[in-house]
Amino acid sequence: MYREDFMRRAIEISRRALTEPGTEPFGCIVVKDGAVVGEGLNHSLAHFDPTSHGEVEAIRDACRRLQCVDLSGCDLYTSCEPCAMCVATMEVAGISKLYYAASMSQAGAAFAALTRAERHPIDVVALRAAAGALVEDRAMPSQQAMDADAVAILENWAQARKTAAAGAAG
């Protein structure tokens, strides 16, 4: 169930970008059972990390605090509609519900007057297309190599997990 106080917190976190160098105005919180368990602000420029979006940072914070990688049952409140990378992170983490303030088109309009050098540009349309495409259908060139070696490690790891689980159950 939506709570205005949680959205206000996400927006307040985004407001830090007005005075905190190296940040961008995208704030986020993760909520579980009515309590904030993670917070994040976009630090992509400060950390030289293109994945340091507010949503990703809030999910990282929540996972560290809860000591898990499964955030099923958690809601995410964010100051702006998430990009495809953040949506993918939310899906992998198991976020149950998204609440957002500004839409992607509203953010685009707010940033329209900025030059490429004045902002950290993301082509959200291209990002969505690439994230949802099969590797052979993406614009970025790719080549598969040494798959047998990599698959052997994957199979060995999976077998070790299966053996460990069977030992713990028995």
What residues are annotated to the active site? 55
Q: Which two tokens stand for residue 45?
A: 């420029």
SS3 65: helix
Sign of CA dihedral 144, 147, 150, 156: positive
Strands, DSSP E only, in the chain?
24-32, 35-42, 74-80, 97-102
